[in-house]
Structure 1
Amino acid sequence: MACPSCRTALNLLPKGRPVTKSSIVSSSRFLSSRPTPSSATSTPPTTRQIQQQRSLHTTPSPLISFREIIGKRIANLAGNQSPYFIYTATERLYKQCAAQADYDISKDARKKKELKETEEGEEIGVFKIKNPWHDEFGLLPTFSTWAHVTMLHMYLLVVRLRNTEKIHQAAWQEQLVNHFFYQAEAKMEITHNLSSRVIRQTYLKDLFVQWRGLIMSCDEGLIKGDAVLASAVWRNLFKANEDVDLRSLAAVVSWMRSGIKKLDALPDELVWNSGEMVFKNLVVSEELRGVDVPSAVMRGEFVKEGLVR
């Protein structure tokens, strides 16, 4: 294939004449003797032409707005929605979820074989901090209690995530759930001395089924009413215990409703960047106090029946 200069030289040759070496050389000399645009003589531009050229350069192009949009999208991905930001933000949020009913197992009690167990065979430890889940509701410091209290807090965050852009919801929820299962496996191995990875994976699969079931049952309760939501809390948190205090069920349901409302009122930046402040005002014991105070309508009925004065 000929180069561009050779093709141009061939086009300049008279048609019908044979192509010889001398003809190609003469055509090449002709091309080299032609003046280039820089060497060609031209009249200097007028003031009006200079102003027109400047106006062409200063007029915004339609591509500028497109570039700005792409730049903002890239900045958004590299900033508040980057994988690293999502990982760190969900880690802060998850730590607050997991700390509500966190517990520990005494090593001395394990060595002396003095650990107590539930009827289901769960090891009973000691809560790390004083919390209403134990003091008010009587839940034992076990792995099951920690997991279900943590999942309830995570569920409130998952509902809050549904108020964000759909393109980011999956990434936020995935990282939040990953933090939970990483710590759950660590607790099985370190806290409960469960060294078999096969057994841990079996328990984690069961825990994942419980997590998915909690989401579905609580979603159904949010739609169908407090009775259905209380049934979901009773099955998951209280393990379908028939002797559970109904005040506790009502308090947890009220706490979930008020928690979703308070989280929805917070801006996204405050939720994602201030994980330690998210659950500060969501105290379940306050809802338990409210259960004991009847509403004005109920009090009127109680007065009519002579139950209260």
Structure 2
Amino acid sequence: MACRSCKRQLLTLARQANTPVAAELSGALLGQQFHRVATKPIAHQQQRRGFRSTPTRSGIMGSIRNTIQKSSEPYRVVAATKEIYDACSKAAPYKIDPIAIKAGTIPKTPEGEDIGEGKGMWHDDFKLPPTFSTWSQVTMLHMYLVFARLRNLDRDAARSWQAQLVDHFFFDAEERMDLGHGISSRGLRNKYLKDLFVQWRGIVAAYDEGVAKNDAVLASAIWRNVFKAREDINIRDLAAIVSWMRLSLKMLDQMPDEALFTRAGTALRWPAKNEFAVVDKPTRVLADQLTPNNSSLAGAASSG
């Protein structure tokens, strides 16, 4: 027999879960759930207990398990989205020398952004500068892929996951502004964060349009956001990123909902530069038109 304090705590937990389990547990634990069976009208009525309505031990344990799981769901979502966000934010890392910031000797882009030090695929293979803008755009690009997958969940669950994922990003962005770039003014950071939020909303709309329409529209959205509409962009880079986005969306779509808690970040580990092999491969129409000499020349030009 459970003590009175344990019963009270268990019933409180069931009520907090906002499920019908509370009533079932109350009757099961306190022995107050009885079923009155009316008999023929006689001098007195006989009470009989309806054993079908009495929860079994397995039923009680299942109810408790479901209650605890629902109560802990928000905490699981926070932990899972933090792990997913960490995978997104590590795609294009960069560092800013704090001594150079204090001395005012840090190099700047033509737009006035601080240029740091960064290594990795997005800096080396796609020739993106190691700046806050590059980091935020590449991070939001990865976030969008997960953001789109979360739409397959129930509406309330999808909103919870998406809100937590976005919160992780903006908390990290503000911390980078403060500690990495020396922006100590909270008002100035809030101004930049508002601009960043507008960019995020525009990115979701632009990538949605590209995914729904065709690769050309999606490549245009990547060119405007990630590459800032540079005129010297390599079309081969855009094609590889488009192919990588399509592949990542497919991998995330094939992942069960429960796997999002543990394996969502694994779908983002496939490097976008690996899609160069797909981009450099001629289509069937071009393969029929290209001669062996032209095909070898095209391969040499792409490798160079």
Shorter-chain TM-score tier: 0.7 to 0.9
CA distance in 2, matches of 1:99, 1:225: 28
Q: Give the 3-state SS of the residue equivalent to 1:308 in structure 2.
A: helix
| Residue type of the alignment partner of 1:96 | A
Residue 132 of structure 1 corresponds to 121
CA distance in 2, matches of 1:308, 1:84: 55
Q: Give the 3-state SS of the residue equivalent to 1:290 in structure 2.
A: helix
Unaligned 5+ segments in structure 1 are: 1-51
CA drift at 1:111: 4.2
Deviation string 1:134-172 (CA, Å, 9 cap, x unpaired) is 111100110000000000000000111011122201111
CA drift at 1:113: 3.6
Whether contact under 8 Å (2:76, 2:261) holds in the other structure is no
CA drift at 1:297: 2.6
| Residue type of the alignment partner of 1:218 | Y
Given candidates 85, 98, 101, the residue that maps to 2:92 is 101
Q: Which structure has the larger Rg over C-alpha atoms?
A: 1
Give the TM-score of the pair, scaled to structure 2.
0.75
Kindly indicate whether residue 206 of structure 2 is the aligned counterpart of residue 227 of structure 1.
Answer: no
Q: Give the 3-state SS of the residue equivalent to 2:295 in structure 1.
A: coil
Kindly indicate whether residue 286 of structure 2 is the aligned counterpart of residue 295 of structure 1.
Answer: no
CA drift at 1:112: 4.4
CA distance in 2, matches of 1:266, 1:161: 11
What does 1:76-155 correspond to in 2, within 5 Å?
A: 76-79=69-72, 82-127=73-118, 130-155=119-144
Unaligned 5+ segments in structure 2 are: 1-45, 297-304
| Residue type of the alignment partner of 1:104 | K
Given candidates 274, 277, 293, the residue that maps to 1:286 is 274
Residue 14 of structure 2 corresponds to none
What does 1:256-275 correspond to in 2, within 5 Å?
A: 256-274=245-263
Evaluate the alpha carbon distance shift between residue 303 and residue 61 of structure 1 in structure 2; reply closer, same or farther with a 3 A threshold. Answer: farther
Evaluate the alpha carbon distance shift between residue 270 and residue 107 of structure 1 in structure 2; reply closer, same or farther with a 3 A threshold. Answer: same
Q: Give the 3-state SS of the residue equivalent to 2:288 in structure 1.
A: helix
Kindly indicate whether residue 52 of structure 2 is the aligned counterpart of residue 59 of structure 1.
Answer: yes
Whether contact under 8 Å (1:252, 1:284) holds in the other structure is yes
CA distance in 2, matches of 1:69, 1:221: 45
CA distance in 2, matches of 1:165, 1:115: 47
Paired residues, number: 251
Deviation string 1:33-70 (CA, Å, 9 cap, x unpaired) is xxxxxxxxxxxxxxxxxxx988x5422479xxx99997
CA distance in 1, matches of 2:266, 2:206: 27
Residue 308 of structure 1 corresponds to 295
Residue 33 of structure 1 corresponds to none
CA distance in 2, matches of 1:274, 1:289: 26
Whether contact under 8 Å (1:271, 1:278) holds in the other structure is no
Deviation string 1:5-26 (CA, Å, 9 cap, x unpaired) is xxxxxxxxxxxxxxxxxxxxxx
Residue 27 of structure 1 corresponds to none
Whether contact under 8 Å (2:101, 2:181) holds in the other structure is no
Residue 153 of structure 2 corresponds to 164
CA drift at 1:77: 1.8
Q: Give the 3-state SS of the residue equivalent to 1:145 in structure 2.
A: helix
CA distance in 2, matches of 1:232, 1:71: 49
CA drift at 1:307: 3.0
CA drift at 1:298: 1.9
Q: Percent identity?
A: 45
Say what the alpha-carbon RMSD is for the aligned residues. 2.8
